[in-house]
Amino acid sequence: MNLAKIKAVLAGLGYLAIVSLAAYNLRGELFGSSVPLASANSTPVATAPVAATPEPAVQSASNSGSASAQNDQKTPQQASQPTLKTEKPAAPGKQASAQEKTSARTQQSLVPVAGNGSVAAGERLPNFLLTGLNGNTLNESTLRGHKTLFIIVSPTCPHCQKELKLLHEIQNDYPSIEPVFASVFPLNETRPLADMTGESDHIYTGARDLATSLGVTGVPFLMLIDEKGIVRAIRKGELQEPDFRDILGRFARGEQVPQVSQLRNWTSLPGDQA
C-alpha cells in the first residue's frame, strides 16, 4: 500500500471520529444530560428524580402583581397545604353590649317582687296595667330607664287633691323625675281629679288591683322608684311643699331618702275601693 492510500484511510477514520463525537454531543443536548458509558462490571444505581426549582416571579408595581408573585414563590409543599380559616372575633362593643344585657337580666331576676299584701323598699312592683286619661297605657316595664314619683290616689280624697295640685306646680323643677298618679277609681270617676288639680297628662286609672296587691289601705301612698324599677322610698299620707322638695331633691341627686312610717293626713280606703 502506498503512502497516498494510507493518508486517505487515516483521513476517513478521522472524519468518522469527528462525526461520532458530534452525534454524541448532539444527543446530550437533546435529552438534557450526558449519558455516561457504563462499564461491563458496573451495577446500575437507581437515582431519585430531581424536582425542578421554580424560577422566582417577577415583582410588579401593582398590589395584585405583588400578591401573585408571593403565591408563585411558595414551595410545592406549601402550595399543597390547605388554607386554615380563622374566625373573626366579634367587635368589643358588641360583646360588651351582650354582656351588659345578660347582667341586667340577671340582676333584675334577683330583685324581689312586691305583692301579696305588702311592699317594701328594695323591691320592684308586680306587673300591672294602667290607662291614662288620654288613652295611653303604663306597665311595670315602662317605669325603667328613669326615676319615677309613683303615687296611688283617690279622686275623692282631699289630701290627694291638694298633693296633686302642689306637684303640678313644682314638678317642672325636677325634670329627671317622671310623675305617675294612679287612681283606684275608674276613668269616669277619676276625670274630675284633672279639673280640680290642673293635672291630666300623668293621671292613670285602674290601680285598684295594684293597691290591693301592695297592701295599700289609705291614700295618698307615695313610692320613689329608681331607673331599674326598684322602690327606693315609701311615704304615706299628704306631704307639704318643704317635705316634697326635700325628698324629690335627694332622689334626683341619687341620695338616700329617709323612710317615714307614721301616717299623716291620710284618707282610709274602704274595702270596695282598694
Question: What's this model's pTM, rounded to 2 decimal places?
Answer: 0.61
The mean pLDDT of 259-266, rounded to a whole number, is 71
Q: Which amino acid is at 273?
A: Q
* Assigned domain for 223 exists: yes
- Structural contact between residues 194 and 133, judged by C-beta atoms closer than 8 angstroms: yes
Q: What is the pLDDT of residues 147-204, one digit of tens each?
A: 999 999 999 999 999 999 999 999 999 999 999 999 999 999 999 999 999 898 999 9
Q: What is the pLDDT of residue 6?
A: 80
Q: What is the pLDDT of residue 58?
A: 42
* Assigned domain for 169 exists: yes
* Assigned domain for 37 exists: no
Overall number of domains in the chain: 1
* Assigned domain for 202 exists: yes
* Assigned domain for 130 exists: yes
Q: What is the pLDDT of residue 173?
A: 97
Environment class of 261 (CB within 10 Å of its CB; exposed 0-12, middle 13-18, buried 19+): exposed
Q: What is the pLDDT of residues 25-76, one digit of tens each?
A: 655 554 554 444 444 444 444 444 444 555 544 444 444 444 444 545 555 4
Decide which of 20 and 60 is more confident. Answer: 20
In the predicted model, is pLDDT for residue 104 greater than 90?
no
* Assigned domain for 236 exists: yes
- Please state, in angstroms and rounded to a whole number, the distance separating the CA atoms of residues 145 and 59: 61
At 237, which CATH number? 3.40.30.10
The separation between the first and the last C-alpha atoms of the chain, rounded to the nearest angstrom, is 154
- Coil, strand or helix at 245: helix
* Assigned domain for 73 exists: no
* Mean pLDDT, rounded, of the chain: 78
- Give the cell for residue 40: 461491563
Q: Where are the beta strands (DSSP E) in the chain?
A: 129-132, 137-139, 147-153, 177-183, 203-205, 218-219, 221-225, 231-236, 267-268
- Please state, in angstroms and rounded to a whole number, the distance separating the CA atoms of residues 150 and 230: 12
pLDDT band at residue 12 using 50, 70 and 90 as cut-offs: confident
* Assigned domain for 8 exists: no
Q: 218 lies in which domain range?
A: 119-266
